[in-house]
Structure 1
Amino acid sequence: MSPRRSTRLPEIDNELGRRVRVFRKRRGLSLEVVAGLAGITKQYLSLIERGERRISDRRMLSDICDAIGCSIVDVTGEPYLPADRDAAGALATIPPIQLALLDCDLEDVPDHPVPPIQQLEQAVREAHLHCDHTRYEISGRVLGQVLVDLQVIVATGDEQQQRRALTALVEACKIACAISKNMGHPQIGVAAATRGLEAARRLGDPALLGYARWYYSLVLLRIGARRRATSILSTALNDLAAVDDPSAPRPLASEVYGMVQLTSALGAARSGHTDQARSHLAEARALAERTGERNNLFMHFGPTNVRAWTLSIGAELGEGGAALEQVQPDSVDLSAFAGSPNRVAGWHYELARALAQEGGSRDFEAVRHLDIAERTAPQWMHHEPMARELLFQLNGRARTTQWELSSLRNRFGVHSN
């Protein structure tokens, strides 16, 4: 028989609630005021601060942070300490990325020789592959220098070299954005996305411009800038609609268009606009049926990814059970993700979130899928605040000690006191 659990809540399990209380009191705000601004009851906010209820989705997290007047990273406490050597290596890549973005721009660059453009293009492709496999310590190892060298060519090369460098820079900035955002430095991710958008505008390619706007909107949503993200996504949708062609041999514009629809659905869900979220999701689903499974620029757009996003959006809307019925997880073939640990982990993570909303006997399934997600993409999961909250939620609801939860806590680096 498994031992009964202690009723005492470990302090680390209440990371978010404790920080909410600290920042609320520093601002001199009452429970009534913050709860009213966040659209929740005073009693529920009090339960969050005491760790008896969880901040279960990013919409609630953003609403509470907006009400208090602090940033999301203030409350999440990011970046987290590395749980292993690989995570430490990934975090070590952030300062060179930041320096490459702050010490250069598309006109003001250092005076030094750079490798041939084809060598830099190959480095970007390899970095993107490693990023898709969530091997951030490898992906980001030379990324800072690659960003500098590409900007040097943009500023000093001939017209053909400039266009090739701008194209590679749009992709390189997406990688820099993803690593920074996923390792707990979203502000640096914003800087990377801003530079990528600047490069895409100068290049003038509508598909790549839409691509840059897409990943820019993702990092904006990550920091809670929902209004700005919605504006960027709306512009992208309007421009991409004119070049959408799913029948093209390489339908990059259609794939980007689909990802923008999915992200628009997510943004609408996080703003409480249920009908808009469902409308964008339906548009993405219809487009995916026409494109089939695609993977240009490692976006993995297609019917399978739409089903994964359906789970995510359902969880954001508090409709995890309905999303599970719609998606029918047992019928999903994850081979469509072309061996991408990033997307496979994302699938299992979103499945765990949806199952956890059902609660009861489904918590055991949620633990199993969170465990798979962590084992598949540990660097991402360890530094995802809502994955940590999900772990704490499942741990708090478990009626007996489970070795799976204890193992997860150890691997996340969140040990009980």
Structure 2
Amino acid sequence: MTDDNEIGQRIRAIRRRRGLSLNTAAGLVGISKAYLSMLETGSRRVDSRGLLDRLADALGCSVLDLTGEPYVPAHRHTADALRAIPDIQVALADTALDDVPDLPARPLLQLVEPLRAAHVAYMDQARYDIAGRGLGRLLADLHIHAVAGIAGERRQALELLVEACIVAFGVTKNLGHPDLALMAAQRGYEAAKLSGDPALLAFAGQRRGQAFQRVGAVRRAGSTLRQTLDATMEAADPSAQDTRAGEGVGLLHLTAALNAARRGEAETAHDHLDAAADLATWTGERNAFAQHFGPANLGVWRISIGVELGEGARVVDAVTPTINLGDLASADRVAMLRADSARALAQEGGARDLDAVRQLDLADRTAPARLRQDPVVRSLVSTLAHRAPRRTWELDSLRHRFGVGSPAVNS
């Protein structure tokens, strides 16, 4: 059984180890003493990633120290997927872009199909057990081709390696290993730089920025995103038939918008959103590197950013009618649309909690392995259950499925 308020208990324990009073710690976070006390006791719960970042910074610890990741698997797909983590870790640790083992690798053309299948399983199906299967060996083989392979194949190997690192980033991050996700994102960024392709660099830089965000390094995420935008923006040419660079730059703007929102910089966030919207108007619905950039995905990001800015239900009510779910074509994107909509509705203080529960149930049924390992979503389940006026089957079911406040259920 997991406690309803593990994050709050960790906040209190670390604050006391640091010798900080409630008043001092609250001042460092930028919230009231009463609010911090409620977070510690569980009468309020952490409802945004920006708040997690500020708490970790004020207490001088990692976000992972507060969330306690990785969690006990609450879904059979997650348990199966976790078997891939050691092989991914070894592949990234035992290879570099200037140092690979003197071992034979499978022919490069034999690696394309399994890599594309892994990417679809990760992004479109949210099936990390399938995406992670054999991913460590794929990473190792692609490193060997990129460094010591046939000269004429090295550029293609670098491109495929970037894609493999994007998959490794997503699988490890969503399974609660953001430190390993950062390692994968860094490697993908290095490979993209060596390739000389601005589109590759944009996609890899976007994932690198996300990886820094996920471990709470919001300042570094911001500088990474700015640098990558500066290096790739000219390649996003609306007169070009190839929209890949535009898609990548659009995603960079969206990630920069989210990063600004987590820092409370609303104007900057909306400036980046506007830039991404202009690019989405040009590209239309596209799917380079299985990232689904376009007007529909832009709507998903608008809600995510609105949550971090505390815009509540109004961003859901304004944006949801503009999103065509069929255009998303991705279980990951649909699940996050539902989950972030639930977070936004929950910001109304209870008035829209029934709608939030329904959205969260839809999100979990779309991508359970994606949702149940997410610390903010898990906190949301606790929040909704804590303030419900009475027990309901829907909320109890969510608690059981997430393993929050009740025995974990493998379903």
TM-score normalised to structure 2 length: 0.96
State the distance in 2 between where 1:330 and 1:251 align: 26
Matches of 1:365 and 1:333, distance apart in 2: 20
Aligned-partner Cα distance in 2 for 1:359–1:93: 40
What corresponds to 1:382 in structure 2?
A: 372
- 1:13 aligned counterpart, secondary structure: coil
Q: Distance in 2 between matches of 1:172 and 1:222?
A: 19
**Which amino acid in structure 1 is aligned with residue 89 of structure 2?**
Q
Q: Does 1:128 align with 2:111?
A: no
Structure 1 CA distance, aligned partners of 2:241 and 2:113? 23
Q: Secondary structure at the match of 1:78?
A: coil
Amino acid at match of 1:390: L
Further displaced range: 10-19 or 85-94: 10-19
* Per-residue CA distance 1:54-84 (angstroms, 9 max, x = gap): 1110111110111111100110010000113
Distance 1:416 1:81 in 2: 13
Q: CA–CA distance in 1 between the matches of 2:269 and 2:339?
A: 20
The answer to whether 1:267 aligns with 2:259 is: yes
| Code of the aligned partner of 1:168 | L
Query: Hey, what's the Cα distance between the residues in 2 that align with 1:289 and 1:12?
Result: 46
How many Å separate the matches in 1 of 2:24 and 2:183?
33
CA distance in 2, matches of 1:166, 1:393: 44
Which residue of structure 1 aligns with residue 190 of structure 2?
198
* Cα separation, 2, equivalents of 1:123 and 1:247: 34
CA positional deviation for 1:296: 1.0
Kept after mapping to 2: 8 A contact 1:311/1:320: no
1:49 aligns with one of 37, 40, 49: 40
Alignment of structure 1 residues 296-307 onto 2, 5 Å:
296-307=288-299
Letter matched to residue 214 of structure 1: Q
Shift in Å at residue 247 of structure 1? 4.8
1:224 corresponding residue in structure 2: 216
CA distance in 1, matches of 2:107, 2:406: 52
Q: How does 1:8-23 map to 2 (within 5 A)?
A: 12-23=3-14
Residues 161-197 of structure 1: CA deviation (Å, up to 9, x unaligned): 1111111000100110111111110000111111111
Letter in 2 for 1:54: R
Query: Greater relative contact order (Cα 8 A, min sep 6): structure 1 or 2?
Result: 2
Q: Contact 2:2–2:404 at 8 Å: present in 1 too? A: no
> Quick check: 372-381 or 329-338, which moved more?
329-338
- Alpha-carbon separation, structure 2, partners of 1:227 and 1:84: 34
Distance in 2 separating the partners of 1:375 and 1:98: 29
Which of 69, 87, 99 aligns to 1:96? It is 87
**Structure 2 letter corresponding to 1:122:** E
Contact in 2 for aligned 1:247/1:291 (Cα 8 Å): no
Cα displacement string for residues 322-380 of structure 1 (whole angstroms, at most 9, x for unaligned residues):
312431x2453200012x11111111111111111124341111100100101111111
The within-5 A match list for 1:60-71 is 60-71=51-62
Structure 2 Cα separation of the partners of residues 11 and 51 of structure 1: 14
Report what 1:75 is aligned to: 66
Q: Which residue of 212, 222, 231 maps to 1:239?
A: 231
For 1:177, the aligned partner's letter is F
Instruction: Give yes or no for contact 2:341–2:356 (8 Å, CA) kept in 1.
Output: yes
Distance 2:23 2:339 in 1: 34
AA at the equivalent of 1:98: Q
Q: Residue 389 of structure 2 corresponds to which residue in structure 1?
A: 399
Q: Shift of residue 241 of structure 1?
A: 1.8
Query: How far off its partner does 1:33 sit?
Result: 1.6
Cα RMSD (Å) of the superposition?
1.4
Question: Aligned equivalents of 1:11 and 1:239: distance in 2?
Answer: 45
Query: For the Cα contact (< 8 Å) 1:341–1:376, is it kept in 2?
Result: yes
**Once the two structures are superposed, what CA deviation does each residue of 1:134-153 show, in whole Å capped at 9, x if it has no partner?**
11011011000010011111
Counterparts in 2 of 1:298 and 1:247: CA distance versus 1, 3 Å: farther
Q: Does 1:86 align with 2:73?
A: no
CA distance in 2, matches of 1:140, 1:312: 26
Kept after mapping to 1: 8 A contact 2:381/2:404: no
Q: Which runs of 5+ in 2 are unaligned?
A: none
| 1:415, distance to aligned residue in structure 2 (A) | 3.4
Please say if 1:314 is aligned against 2:306. Answer: yes
TM-superposed CA distance for 1:254, in Å, is 0.4
TM superposition shift of 1:86: 1.5
- Deviation for aligned residue 1:11: 7.2
State whether residues 335 and 367 of structure 2, in contact with CA within 8 Å, keep that contact through their aligned partners in structure 1. Answer: yes
Q: Secondary structure at the match of 1:109?
A: coil
- Counterpart-to-counterpart distance in 1, 2:91 and 2:251: 28
Give 2:357's aligned residue: 367
Alignment of 1:338-357 (within 5 A): 338=329, 340-357=330-347
Taking the aligned partners of 1:200 and 1:60, their CA distance within structure 2 comes to: 32
Q: Provide the rounded CA distance (Å) in 2 between the counterparts of 1:416 and 1:175.
A: 32
The whole-number CA distance in structure 2 between the counterparts of 1:346 and 1:159 is 41
Offset from partner CA, 1:106-135 (integer Å, 9 cap, x none): 222222221110111222111101101111
Amino acid at match of 1:127: A
**Aligned equivalents of 1:32 and 1:148: distance in 2?**
50
CA contact under 8 A between 2:342 and 2:356: conserved in structure 1?
yes
Report the alpha carbon displacement of residue 212 of structure 1 after superposing the two structures with TM: 0.9
Contact 2:382 2:404 in 1 (8 A): no
Partner of 1:58: 49
2:3 match: secondary structure: helix
